[in-house]
Amino acid sequence: MTALPEAERFARLRLARTDKIGPVTFSQLLQRFGSAITAIDALPDLVRRSGRATYNLPDTRTIEAELEAGHAYGATLLVRGDAHYPLRLSHIDPPPPVLWVKGRKDLLHGETIAIVGARIASAGGLRIARDLARELGQAGHVVVSGLARGIDTAAHSGAQETGTVAVLGGGIDDIYPPENAELHAKIGETGCLVSESPMGMRAQARDFPRRNRILSGLSRGVIVVEAELKSGSLITARIAAEQNRDVFAVPGSPLDPRTRGTNDLLRQGAILCESAEDVQRAFTTLRSLFEPHAVPDFEPVMAEPAHDVIEKIARLLSPVPTATDELSRHLNLPAATVAAALLELSLTDRATLLPGGLVSGL
């Protein structure tokens, strides 16, 4: 893969920071126009065609300020299409358009395994997470977690000597929880900190699902140590399964609500994990569900849907997500034409582009 020109890298960051342009819309814009530079040039006409009065494209000074802040912090920007963008992450739907990373970037390309679990964990669960992380690190795996209280903290602590990756919900300089300040600093030196959020951004509840999809996407598999039946860790396990990652679960007593979620994962077919040997055995004897390969950069697929086509598609949308392929078949239109129309509808908030080739309307 050839290196992206700096002007295109700058434009991809600028496009990613534009209001109303999330990872799905970002992908659609680059798929349609082939580059962020061309997409940004086309935005005024797209917005005008779709009837929206304005759009919030950040000015170049704002982007320059983010780059300066990141570099001053000792972080590196990775954008989709960069040669060093994590290969596993490039296959999730959709990949994050940009990442800030600090520390050992080589860890992102290693034999990664995530460990997640309850924030309010038992003493036994904390010990299991710490021991698993240490043993897996010594066996050559890179432990990935989310730097949250409880199981995440124990996993990072156990893998510090061999290198661990922390995926953050806020900016890469956002220390949360505050008591993990020392661990955050240590990982930034000997491990790797990762975030798709802008520098200086403080994490909010809505940021953690985005964080979790990156955490599992970076990893070959996800181990859940403790989790209640309704917990973020089970959501991470579900996302991992959707991404074709192996899901492991540590069994526990049915008397402890913190292990009901992990026991339920085992009922659903998760791989039993009582030690690092279980992970090693699974990776050695089972055919991996996911084999990453290089992803080519975007090739433009130019399509200019007529106004009546856009309105016809808009009338078919509802709050219930619909597959874009289904719209294409129903209207007997090329997939590229439907995608272009949905992109324009999304820029006016008349459609929401969702992962998995789905779309919803008002």
Q: Tell me which amino acid residue 189 is.
A: E
Residue range 323-335, pLDDT digits in tens: 888 888 888 888 8
CATH number, domain with residue 168: 3.40.50.450
Tokens of 97: 């358009």
Clarify whether residues 107 and 237 are in a common domain: yes
How far apart are the C-alpha atoms of 276 and 279, rounded to whole Å? 5
Position 156 in a domain: yes
Span 135-160, average pLDDT? 96
Higher pLDDT pick, 89 / 334: 89
Position 352 in a domain: yes
Clarify whether residues 274 and 326 are in a common domain: no
Q: How many domains does the chain have?
A: 2
HEC profile for 112-123?
EEEEECCCCCCH
Q: Please name the helix (run of DSSP H) or strand (run of DSSP E) that holds residue 354, with its range, or none.
A: strand 351-354
Clarify whether residues 49 and 153 are in a common domain: no
Clarify whether residues 33 and 176 are in a common domain: no
Clarify whether residues 272 and 322 are in a common domain: no
The pTM score is 0.88
Position 201 in a domain: yes
Clarify whether residues 191 and 336 are in a common domain: no
CATH number, domain with residue 42: 1.10.10.10
Extract long-range pairs of 70-73: CB within 8 Å, 24+ residues apart: 70/100, 70/172, 70/199, 73/102, 73/172, 73/173, 73/199
Q: Please name the helix (run of DSSP H) or strand (run of DSSP E) that holds residue 221, with its range, or none.
A: strand 221-224
Predicted local distance difference test score (pLDDT) of residue 198: 95
Domain boundary among 254, 285, 316: 285
Clarify whether residues 118 and 196 are in a common domain: yes
Residue 54: which pLDDT band, with cuts at 50, 70 and 90?
low
Span 347-354, average pLDDT? 81
Position 329 in a domain: yes
Clarify whether residues 35 and 105 are in a common domain: no
Clarify whether residues 281 and 139 are in a common domain: yes
Clarify whether residues 215 and 105 are in a common domain: yes
**Range scoring the smallest mean pLDDT among 119-133, 253-267, 291-305:** 291-305
**Range scoring the smallest mean pLDDT among 92-96, 209-213, 247-251, 289-293:** 289-293
Residue 296: which pLDDT band, with cuts at 50, 70 and 90?
low
Domain boundary among 252, 285, 318: 285
Q: How distant, in Å, are the alpha carbons of 42, 139, 165, 247, 276 from that of 135? A: 52, 6, 16, 18, 6
Clarify whether residues 281 and 327 are in a common domain: no
Domain boundary among 230, 259, 285: 285
Among 68, 31, 54, 231, which residue's Cα sits nearest to residue 150?
231
Clarify whether residues 52 and 107 are in a common domain: no
Position 90 in a domain: no
Q: Of all residues in the chain, what percent carry a pLDDT higher than 70?
A: 93
Position 351 in a domain: yes
Q: What's the domain range around 121?
A: 100-285
Position 56 in a domain: yes
Predicted local distance difference test score (pLDDT) of residue 51: 61
Position 298 in a domain: no
Predicted local distance difference test score (pLDDT) of residue 325: 87
Residue range 153-202, pLDDT digits in tens: 999 999 999 999 999 999 999 999 999 999 999 999 999 999 999 999 99
